[in-house]
Structure 1
Amino acid sequence: MRRKISPREARRLMQRMGLNMAPMPEVQQVIFKTSTKEIIVEDPEVAVISLRGQKIFQVTGEKITEKTLEIKPKLVIPEEDVQLVANQTGKSLEEARRALEETEGDLAKAILLLQSQS
Structure 2
Amino acid sequence: MLGGGGMNPRKMKQMMKQMGIDVTELDVEEVVIRTDEEDLVFDGPQVTRMDAQGQETYQVVGEPESVEAGTGGSGGSASGPDGDDEGDASAIPADDVAIVAERAGVPEEDAIEALEAEDGDLAAAIARLE
* TM-score normalised by structure 1 residue count: 0.50
| Structure 1 stretches of 4+ moved >6 Å | none
Q: What is the aligned partner in structure 2 of residue 43 from structure 1?
A: 44
Q: What is the aligned partner in structure 1 of residue 11 from structure 2?
A: 9
Q: What is the aligned partner in structure 1 of residue 119 from structure 2?
A: none
Q: Which runs of 5+ in 2 are unaligned?
A: 71-130
For residues 55-74 of structure 1, what are the structure 2 equivalents within 5 Å? Answer: 55-62=56-63, 64-69=64-69
| Structure 1 counterpart of 2:68, one-letter code | T
For residues 1-118 of structure 1, what are the structure 2 equivalents within 5 Å? Answer: 4-25=6-27, 27-62=28-63, 64-69=64-69
The answer to which structure has the higher helix fraction is 1
- Cα distance in 1 between the residues matched to 2:47 and 2:6: 25
Q: CA deviation at 1:69?
A: 2.3
Residues 44-100 of structure 1: CA distance to partner in whole angstroms, max 9, x if unpaired? 0111100110111111013x1112327xxxxxxxxxxxxxxxxxxxxxxxxxxxxxx
Q: Which runs of 5+ in 1 are unaligned?
A: 71-118
- Cα distance in 2 between the residues matched to 1:66 and 1:57: 20
* TM-score normalised by structure 2 residue count: 0.46
CA RMSD of superposed structures (Å): 1.8
| Structure 2 counterpart of 1:53, one-letter code | G
